[in-house]
Structure 1
């Protein structure tokens, strides 16, 4: 029997996720993709002014509070190059967001991942390959279906 290729691999083809390291908001530390050893990783790109981003990050906050962090890593990347200078620390605390937030260097990582708009959610498998990419109109259920497929797989 040959190697079984899933429907999603045929659709998008898996490619290695670009490595990056960005500063964390409310921390002196940087977060690097290297931190996500053998975990499914969700990377979400967002801005504070976008209604779709606001809807998305509210759903992601609920997910973050309930997820098992030993199996999955989640980071939210604020795309500073697409957002006017906002006080991110205040924005996050005023809205009760507790997920890890990274500050993009303009649109550097956003561009590395070939994003077309915000929000964009990228799901990486345990080998740090891009398995799924969701754009602004994707629902949290769409994203959770992808997460489920990767955690089962």
Structure 2
């Protein structure tokens, strides 16, 4: 067998190459890519598109947020770590220039009580953008497995950091935002 491979090495390589190309072609034909498919969001990859209504009734389209670092936090009002980190997001959203950093809290409304969520927002005087994931589509797209989950996106909407669970600390979040702001674009 080894002697056969030595004598016919070029033929074996060519046959392997041809079979590989045929396999790729057949795979592309029978399993075409889907335009609605997005790989699991993770650092180093562009954030999936996101279009939601906000608590104040205006639409939010992530594609329309330009040249800003984005802090994207999935949360629910019944979630103790989510509740614990909301004052941090509010404080930093007031501290950073809104032209440079945009805070978005995405309430997982499909698994939350909207009345309790609205009361929590009022009680904590949350002024940053609160978006509503009413049907769970955004949570599914972002493959949210635990609450809270926070994504930090750079100015090109590339995910730089992802935190599963919480609460995030104020010092850590401030340092991460500064790191992203200072990174070359």
> Which deviates the most, 137-146 or 38-47?
137-146
> 2:50 is matched with which residue?
20
In the TM superposition, residue 147 of structure 1 has moved relative to its aligned partner by 1.1
Partners of 2:135 and 2:85 in 1: CA distance: 21
The structure with the largest alpha-carbon Rg is 2
Secondary structure in structure 2 of the residue aligned to 1:86: helix
* 1:76 aligned to which of 77, 80, 105: 105
Higher strand proportion (structure 1 or 2): 1
1:1-153 superposed matches below 5 A: 14-27=44-57, 29-137=58-166, 138-153=168-183
Higher helix proportion (structure 1 or 2): 2
In the TM superposition, residue 144 of structure 1 has moved relative to its aligned partner by 2.3
Secondary structure in structure 2 of the residue aligned to 1:22: strand
In the TM superposition, residue 84 of structure 1 has moved relative to its aligned partner by 3.3
| Unaligned stretches of 5+ residues in structure 2 | 1-41
| Unaligned stretches of 5+ residues in structure 1 | 1-11
Partners of 1:68 and 1:19 in 2: CA distance: 24
> Which deviates the most, 139-148 or 113-122?
139-148
Q: TM-score, normalised by structure 1?
A: 0.83
Secondary structure in structure 1 of the residue aligned to 2:83: helix
Contact 2:75 2:82 (8 Å CA) reproduced = yes
Partners of 1:13 and 1:89 in 2: CA distance: 31
In the TM superposition, residue 87 of structure 1 has moved relative to its aligned partner by 4.5
Q: For each residue in 1:80-139, what CA deviation from the matched residue of structure 2 results, as whole angstroms up to 9, or x when unmatched? A: 123234344333122211111000133211221222211111011111111110122332
**Once superposed, what is the RMSD of the aligned Cα atoms?**
1.7
In the TM superposition, residue 143 of structure 1 has moved relative to its aligned partner by 2.4
Larger relative contact order, structure 1 or 2 (CA cutoff 8 Å, min sep 6) = 1
Q: TM-score, normalised by structure 2?
A: 0.70
> 1:7 is matched with which residue?
none
